[in-house]
Amino acid sequence: GLALYFASEELRADKEIVLMAVKENGNALEYASAVLRGDKEVVRKALDQSSQALEYVSEDIKADKDVVLGAVKQYGWNVRFASKELKADKEVILVAVKQYGRVIEYASEELKADKEVVTEAVKTGYALEYAPKEHRADKGVVLEAVKTKGKMLRFASEELKADREVVIEAVAQCAGAIQHASPTLRSGKGKGGLKFYLKGLHQAYTL
């Protein structure tokens, strides 16, 4: 396992020794020689034990879609170790954001602006803050976001912070989201005021 840290350079370059180490602890790959960190057999054994070992593979392997996709399927955050090219691969990014929406921050600028990618990302929680301006002003996208995490209302456009339907969904999910609503809705005054917030969330859909 991690005892490979104390091994000599010669042993770190010994494939048989390294295979035994990564089978016990995939992260031992960090201490393998550069050549073995680019050896697919060694890498696959390491990833089988710990998908997070992707951090330690060679740059060539980080650009191998099959290897990276397998690691991302196990743990979405692994996408941060993928090559620039794979961070621009929609299939890879979709797999990642469906697990952890926040990893959209590692996607290419083009994919950060892709509505399908953004919509899938916000469904899992903290992702709207990484979405481009146009999607923060997209009611459909924002509704998906606040249904999962009401406080994501904070990152919506000013127009949507004043949208009664959006704010109702946000506050229904998290009462504290009211602080991010427009002043008019937050005050509970006026024709569009959120009187339901003062009277109880159970009345929200009867006003």
Cα distance between residue 194 and residue 92, in whole Å? 41
Residue 59 pLDDT exceeds 80: yes
Q: And the tokens for 179?
A: 């602080």
What's residue 95's pLDDT? 97
| Cα-to-chain-centroid distance, residue 149 | 14
Q: And the tokens for 130?
A: 């990484």
Segment 145-157 shows an average pLDDT of 95
Query: What's at 125, amino acid-wise?
Result: G
What's residue 189's pLDDT? 58
Task: Give, in order, the Cα–Cα distances in Å from 102 to each of 94, 114, 119, 165.
Answer: 12, 15, 12, 25
Answer for the pair 194, 181: CB distance below 8 angstroms, yes or no. yes
Segment 87-91 shows an average pLDDT of 98
- Cα-trace Rg, the chain: 23
Cα distance between residue 204 and residue 169, in whole Å? 9
- Sorting pLDDT into bands at 50, 70 and 90, what band is 205? very low
pTM recorded for the entire structure: 0.81
- Sorting pLDDT into bands at 50, 70 and 90, what band is 120? very high
Query: What's at 13, amino acid-wise?
Result: A
Cα distance between residue 139 and residue 70, in whole Å? 34
Residue 155 pLDDT exceeds 60: yes
Residue 109 pLDDT exceeds 50: yes
